[in-house]
Structure 1
Amino acid sequence: MALSTSNFPRPEGTVRGRWAPIYLSPILGSPERFIIAVAAVGLQGFHIEAANALNRLECLYGVAAETALFAAEVALDELRTALATQGSAALAEGLLVFSGVSVGTVAEGEARSLEQLAKTWMGALSSLYRYEPPLTTVEAHTEDGGAGASDRLPILVLEHVKQIAPRLSDYFSEHIRAHRRRRGQGVARISIDFAGPKLVANFATLQASTQAQAVDLIKRKMFDLKVRRDEDKKGLPFEPREHEMIIFTPPRDSPLLTEKQIERLDEALHELGEQSEREGFVLQAMHAVPEIGQRLLQAEGRIPLQ
């Protein structure tokens, strides 16, 4: 008996699309190659799921990996433009997207979305990728409890930065990249939210409704920054990194705040500012996720200073 796909019921709520791996050949003329992305295209548009652990190439190529990483970033930008203007016609097997970057075998697939289709194959095929569960699966656990249990700020900052400079997402902590909050690991383990080549930062939300718990959490995160800064100093000589505690807090002119709440927030910021000065690093108080993301991008040289 001959069987075909028509003999099987089709899952509800799925989409079909064409997908292909995107290969990077770091050494021109060599058959060695890595999968740096999976591109999926269909009637709903397209999605490119890029490798989120490209820093692993540095283990193989050292400083020379920077050229390959640049080629990967430029090539994926070129591919996004081509898919946006040409649709599925831009996904052609063997197409050279950029020097050393090409499209692999094109296949058909089905999933709940083009994004899920690309994520599934990327997770199955690439050693330069860590599968990240969707935001709906965020765990409600934290090593800090209290105010930290509902603080999604680090995840929101990650999502904002990924849209502008995907490679910077590799410098966020593993727990933030996996969209889950850290479980209790004991007091001896420090927690750093972002550790880039030029900036090390922790994030926390300071709200009037949970001020006492939030201040306690921020102080612990500041202590972790101090420990990391001291560890960095032991690694000299190198270009020193900046260390910052970045706080999200409502602006003073917010109509949702009372005069008493504004006064308490100012007192908390003053107290935290004095501690940061004693410890020798910067305390930044910002009022929007894009503002925090811009600070990271500027520090790492991804956008010019205004």
Structure 2
Amino acid sequence: MMTPTSSGLKFPDLDTSKRGYWAPVFLSPILGSPERFVIAVAVVSDSGFHIEQANQMRRLTCLYGRDAETALFAAEVALEELHISLAERGKAALVEGAIVFSGVTLGSISEGEARSLERLGKTWMSALSSLYRFNPNPLENELDERNDVSSIDHLPTLVLDHVFNIDPIVANKFSEEIRSNRRRRSSSAIAGISIDFNGSRLVANLATLQSSATALAVDRIKRKMFDLKVRRDKDGGLLEARDHEIILFTPPLDIAFINEKQTDRIDDALGSLREQSTNEGLGFLALGAVHDIGGRIIKSESSHALST
């Protein structure tokens, strides 16, 4: 299996320059439109690979507003899939067009040489993408990543948009952070707990279980479950009990870009998370469509309104 190049910025000497193959990754925010943006450059050689991603993706939000959320979500998932494909198949992943996701495509393959595969990716991203800023300062690069809207789970915002179109009153019960489309701070910086939806009948946190980087997703989901448990314990003294539920978006397991290994990882993760939610006394729901998640939320609040 191939391994990614180091993320360090120390450049090797010229006589150790690396030759590799690279291809741009295109995002089309409007399906059916020829408009597209370069969101990454994928570089691969016999010894490793590197994906240089756009670090100014928030510019799409300036252009498209909330309509950018779906495209950003597609880009996030597609680049994770590309990472897995490059690790498993190297150059063949570029040749075969590893990305199979609406609005995200691979461009033509070219050959290049630079002091490192990372530098090759940075060079071409600087030349090709309006969503990228080359910055040699590691600290500033880290800050860019923290402020990049593509680095967060966009599921809560997508569900909010769906619910708002059907029932604005229910939509108003999403957290203020989600409703104002602000990036949520890291959990280590929050003194209290984080709840996505706080309704009359249902309290829910929403999260995506990716088919790649599953371990990281599981860790994030468990933190959201812990917040739900704390909220549930605080609700213990209320006269009317509310359901406390973790709701996951999981990709359909029979689509082309999910392989058998990824399917097994998702199944294992779902089993582990379901068991933990049961042990904690929390509801657990895994659905494969945003409108199904939105429908669950609307139904919970609508049934409560009819009974009061």
TM-score normalised by length of structure 2: 0.50
1:253–1:210 distance in 2 versus 1, CA, 3 Å? same
SS of residue paired to 2:302:
coil
1:147·1:217 contact (CA, 8 Å) conserved in 2? no
1:270–1:295 distance in 2 versus 1, CA, 3 Å? same
Aligned twin of 1:202: 205
SS of residue paired to 2:172:
helix
2:83 matches 1:152 = no
2:200·2:304 contact (CA, 8 Å) conserved in 1? no
2:149·2:183 contact (CA, 8 Å) conserved in 1? no
Aligned twin of 2:164: 162
The aligned length equals: 170
1:155·1:179 contact (CA, 8 Å) conserved in 2? yes
What runs of 5+ residues in structure 2 fail to find an aligned partner? 1-63, 77-142
Distance 1:190 1:145 in 2: 21
Distance 2:149 2:211 in 1: 11
2:292 matches 1:294 = no
Shift of 1:150: 3.2
What runs of 5+ residues in structure 1 fail to find an aligned partner? 1-132
1:145–1:212 distance in 2 versus 1, CA, 3 Å? farther
Aligned twin of 2:228: 225
Shift of 1:210: 1.9
Distance 1:159 1:249 in 2: 19
Matches within 5 A, 1:236-255: 236-237=238-239, 239-255=240-256
**What is the aligned counterpart of 2:66 among 135, 149, 161?**
135
Distance 1:171 1:274 in 2: 28
Distance 2:185 2:256 in 1: 35
Identity %: 50
1:227–1:298 distance in 2 versus 1, CA, 3 Å? same
Aligned twin of 2:279: 278
SS of residue paired to 1:247:
strand
Question: Aligned letter for 1:213?
Answer: L
1:161·1:168 contact (CA, 8 Å) conserved in 2? yes
1:205·1:247 contact (CA, 8 Å) conserved in 2? yes
Shift of 1:183: 1.8
TM-score normalised by length of structure 1: 0.50
Distance 2:165 2:230 in 1: 31
CA deviation digits over 1:276-299, x for unaligned, max 9? Answer: 011001110000000001100111
Distance 2:189 2:179 in 1: 21
Tell me which structure has the larger Cα radius of gyration: 1
SS of residue paired to 1:246:
strand
CA deviation digits over 1:128-149, x for unaligned, max 9? Answer: xxxxx942798999xx999993
SS of residue paired to 2:183:
coil
SS of residue paired to 1:298:
helix
Q: CA RMSD in A?
A: 3.3
